[in-house]
């Protein structure tokens, strides 16, 4: 079996049940931002080494959105939380 991901709702599940949807810490530009800013936001991404937080969707399981902290060198996950538990920017 491939690597396992510990879903907070379903327990240990095969990585193939999940879909990676992108990094967590990418703030969206303001609506009035220029074209170059939007281009950078949509197409250019850092390729970090080490710990990195990403949105994952448990598409073949509970269908919940999760945030995984994953090491990009070893692919080991150190933390998995339900995305709904994250505080949104500007929330009180």
Residues 53 and 78: their CA atoms lie apart, in Å, by: 10
Average pLDDT of 18-33?
88
Return the pLDDT at 90. Answer: 42
Average pLDDT of 8-36?
91
Cα angle value 20/49/12 (rounded, 5°) = 40
Return the pLDDT at 2. Answer: 66
Average pLDDT of 34-57?
90
Return the pLDDT at 44. Answer: 87
Residues 25 and 20: their CA atoms lie apart, in Å, by: 14
In this prediction the pTM is 0.74
- Residue 92 pLDDT more than 80? no
């Amino acid at each position: 079996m491939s690597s396992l991901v510990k879903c907070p709702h379903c327990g240990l599940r095969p990585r193939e049940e999940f879909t990676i949807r992108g990094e967590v810490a990418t703030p969206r530009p303001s609506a009035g931002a220029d074209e170059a800013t939007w281009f950078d936001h949509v197409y250019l991404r850092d390729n970090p080494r080490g710990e990195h937080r990403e949105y994952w969707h448990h598409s073949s399981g509970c269908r919940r959105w999760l945030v995984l902290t994953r090491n990009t060198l070893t692919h080991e996950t150190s933390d998995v939380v339900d995305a709904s538990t994250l505080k949104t920017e500007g929330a009180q």
